[in-house]
Amino acid sequence: MRMTRSLRAAVCLAAAGAMLMAGVGIASASPGVTPAEVTLKLARGESKTIDKTVSTPVIPPKPDIAFLIDTTGSMGGVISNVRTNANTILSNVASAQPDAQFAVAEYRDMADTTPFRVAQDLTGNQADVTDGINSLAASGGGDTPEDGINALFQIATGAISFRPDSSRIVLLIGDAPSHDPSNGHTLANAISALQAANITVLAFDLAGLNSTGQATAITDATGGKLFSGLDASEVSDTILSALHNLPVTVTHKLRDCDPNLSVSLTPDSRTVTSGEDAAFSEKVTVGDGAVPGSTLTCKVDFLLNDVLSPGFTETITVQVPKVTPKITTTPSGQAPAGGNVSDTATLSGGHHPTGTVKFELFGPGDTECETPIATRTGTVSGDGTATSGDIPAGGVGTYRWVATYSGDDANNPVTSACGDEEVEVVKATPSITTTPSGSVPAGGAVSDTATVSGGYHPTGTVKFQLYAPGDTDCKTPIATRTDDLSDSGTAASGDVTIGAAGTYRWTATYSGDANNNSVTSPCSDEEVQVTPQRLTGRAYGLTASASLAGLQLVNIARTPDTGPVSTTSSGSTSVPCTASLSGLITARALCAKVVTTEFPGKSEATASIDDTTIGITGIPVITVGAIQSSSTTTCAGSTGATTIAYLKVGNTVVISKPTAIKPNTTVNVGVVKLVLNEQISFTTPDKGLTVNAVHVTVNALGLAKTDVVLASAESDIGNCP
């Protein structure tokens, strides 16, 4: 059966529609990009590949459609068909693309008065477009070729005011080829102009438009399509079908992209039939310079025929995860109890970490680091370090540090492990200072006071040891005392009575306790000077003076006389005994002696005389047998003694046999006064005692004034405790 031209056109349209509905890759989704929102989490240097689908609209975006119709005499039926269906065509296109605009132009033969005319320039007003189409009328035309090439050239070069970035489509409708050249423009001229203006030509051949192959050349060169074998009744339907099957080139552009975010798509472009999907492989890569914790964004505009339409922009959001730095710590070294400990943390592997580090110190026994005894916070410096500063430690034991970095916008928090930072606190070694008592006399009391400081709440005792003169290395103590250490850290030895003079030395030894070491003061640090007693004395046998009426009858100095004795050491001072004295006073065997003992300090003086006679005119003769006096002084006190063998005054015998005389015994015989065992105590400058065995005085009118001392002994001692 032979098909008519109408039947062939219907079959072609049906086939095109079937392809449109069932072809491979034809989109069923709404126009746009899928997915339009991409949210990723990528670290620096990581990439992610995403399958992108761009669903094109059935009519390209922002269409500028120009009707270019041959209006020579043979085209009456076609013009009528277009007029009848103009509103349907315009409404259908506008429904798919509301921003569509249309233009209407006609061409005739070169011999006609007006070979080319724009009936309606580009507009979105459908009524104006319809009026433009209705203004077309078939007439004229001499020979078969028309002036179509010139019309295409005129449209491509400005006769139609196409919008920027629009999808430019020319609907070329005719039934005859064009002159070539056409009104001075060749086919090649027209094709070049069309390509330069990005115009796609859809050609509708009503039995002759492509008879010379011109329409094929034009549609092929502009990416359009040729519809052949049509009759007038099929033109409008074919136009609608053609507008739904235009080629669409999908490209892409990046904008507002973070410099650390790289986005690439493969391939660079795809050309599909409008309404189909264009598939791309999109690779998103985060650069090494991206800041951890930051959010990177980029927009990808998918252009259809270089036109961006709403819904064809993809937004990529990439969250760069924070990095987790490594924390290393350096605790301070071994510390004494009560001393300072500290910790230093160093962050590495992060991204310029800022913020703070919390340092927590845990006491001995808290092996799980559960309850901190101290917390300090240090600021992270530019080199990634932070320090706790000094924290006083407590008692002896193993302490543990834990350092926790706070994190910041780019870095995650991180904490050191409990067992990583151990600090050993050992016994403290306190210092001991001592204050010995000052210089004391021999036989006095010395003492020592110790102060223990610098340890950790020291408790316990202090042992004080005293060393005798000569023990310069403090080897053998002569006394030991122990005292408890007070809350204020002091202890005292109490008094210790010492012996002979010399340099004594103390040492003080602190016992130590659970948190403090024992410590001993050096031997030479605590010297105590013990001074000897001053031992003085004097002894003589006799001294006498007698005068009458201004005449010196007797003047005997101390005879024999030891002179003043003053010493701090043991010794004996004596003078040769005087064998005899003659004159008004006679005596024999006069002796005097002073003996000193360094320690225990003692001064002892003795004097003796035999057979003394005092015979001064006018005074009764005094006769004295052997006499002896002694004076002894120690720091405990003084004692004296006198022994007289015989004493007679004139005819009166006072003592007839050797007798120990009581102190200060007074005997008066006539004008003669005798004090026997005369004892005179004194306390300045030292303490002592003078003992005169016999002290004779006469102080009577008309008689010689007489003062005689027999056997005088004086002892004294100074610097007693």
What's the CATH number where 194 sits? 3.40.50.410
Reduced to 3 states, what is the DSSP secondary structure of residue 705? strand
Least confident of 13-17, 122-126, 347-351, 468-472: 13-17
Identify whether residues 421 and 511 lie together within a single domain.
no
End-of-domain residue from the set 223, 243, 263: 243
Residue 189 predicted with pLDDT over 80: yes
Identify whether residues 599 and 649 lie together within a single domain.
yes
Least confident of 8-22, 253-267, 495-509, 679-693: 8-22
pLDDT of residue 9: 35
Identify whether residues 480 and 596 lie together within a single domain.
no
Task: Please give the tally of structural domains in the chain.
Answer: 5
- Percent of the chain having pLDDT more than 90? 84
CA gap 247, 78 in Å, rounded: 25
End-of-domain residue from the set 243, 278, 310: 243
Per-residue DSSP letter, 234: G
**3-state SS record for 8-51:** HHHHHHHHHHHHHHHCCCECCCCCEEECCEEEEECCCCCEEEEE
Q: How many CA atoms lie within 13 A of 524 on its CB side?
A: 2
- Strand 199-205 to strand 225-227: parallel, antiparallel, or no bridges (unpaired)? parallel
Phi-psi domain of 365 (left: phi exceeds 0; alpha: psi -120 through 50; beta: other): left
Closest by Cα among 110, 106, 108, 104 to 72: 108
Q: How many CA atoms lie within 13 A of 507 on its CB side?
A: 19
pLDDT of residue 676: 98
> Burial letters for 540-553: b for 16+ Cβ neighbours within 10 Å, e otherwise?
bbbbbbbeeeeeeb
Higher-confidence position of 246 and 648: 648
CATH of the domain at 389: 2.60.40.1930
Kindly report the pTM of this predicted structure.
0.59
Residue 65 predicted with pLDDT over 50: yes
Per-residue DSSP letter, 636: T
Following CA atoms 13, 17, 23, 26 in sequence, which dihedral angle do they give, to the nearest 10 degrees? 130
CA gap 101, 87 in Å, rounded: 13
Identify whether residues 476 and 400 lie together within a single domain.
no
Residue 152 predicted with pLDDT over 90: yes
* 29 pLDDT tier (thresholds 50, 70, 90): low
Residue 614 predicted with pLDDT over 90: yes
* 26 pLDDT tier (thresholds 50, 70, 90): very low
Identify whether residues 467 and 493 lie together within a single domain.
yes
Closest by Cα among 115, 129, 150 to 65: 129
Instruction: State pLDDT tens for residues 517-544.
Output: 999 999 988 899 999 999 999 999 999 9
- Percent of the chain having pLDDT more than 70? 96
CATH of the domain at 261: 2.60.40.10
pLDDT of residue 115: 93
Over range 221-243, report the average pLDDT. 89
Q: Are 56 and 302 in contact (CB under 8 A)?
A: no
Q: Give CA angle at 145 (148, 201), nearest 5°.
A: 30
Beta carbons within 10 angstroms of residue 251's beta carbon: 18
Identify whether residues 439 and 491 lie together within a single domain.
yes
Q: What phi and psi, each to the nearest 5 degrees, are found at residue 74?
A: -80, -5
Q: Are 399 and 425 in contact (CB under 8 A)?
A: yes
- Could you tell me how many helices (H) and strands (E) the chain has, helices first? 7, 54
* 69 pLDDT tier (thresholds 50, 70, 90): very high
Per-residue DSSP letter, 290: P
Residue 393 predicted with pLDDT over 90: no
Q: Give CA angle at 707 (703, 708), nearest 5°.
A: 125
Least confident of 154-168, 233-247, 597-611, 629-643: 233-247
Positive or negative, the Cα torsion across 282, 283, 284, 289? Answer: negative
pLDDT of residue 232: 83
Closest by Cα among 632, 622, 719 to 671: 622
Give, for 215, the enclosing helix (H) or strand (E): helix 214-222
Q: Average model confidence (pLDDT) for the chain? A: 92
Q: Tell me the residue range of the domain where 153 lies.
A: 63-243
Identify whether residues 576 and 660 lie together within a single domain.
yes
Q: Are 342 and 332 in contact (CB under 8 A)?
A: yes
Identify whether residues 73 and 215 lie together within a single domain.
yes
Q: Are 250 and 273 in contact (CB under 8 A)?
A: no
CA gap 705, 198 in Å, rounded: 169
Identify whether residues 276 and 138 lie together within a single domain.
no
Token pair 């359009």 is found at: 224
* 343 pLDDT tier (thresholds 50, 70, 90): very high
Beta carbons within 10 angstroms of residue 175's beta carbon: 22
Identify whether residues 521 and 667 lie together within a single domain.
no
Over range 699-708, report the average pLDDT. 93
pLDDT of residue 244: 81
Identify whether residues 35 and 53 lie together within a single domain.
yes
Identify whether residues 402 and 455 lie together within a single domain.
no
CA gap 272, 250 in Å, rounded: 8
pLDDT of residue 511: 96
CA gap 710, 693 in Å, rounded: 6
End-of-domain residue from the set 270, 300, 319: 319
CA gap 317, 563 in Å, rounded: 121
Structure tokens, 108 = 């005739």
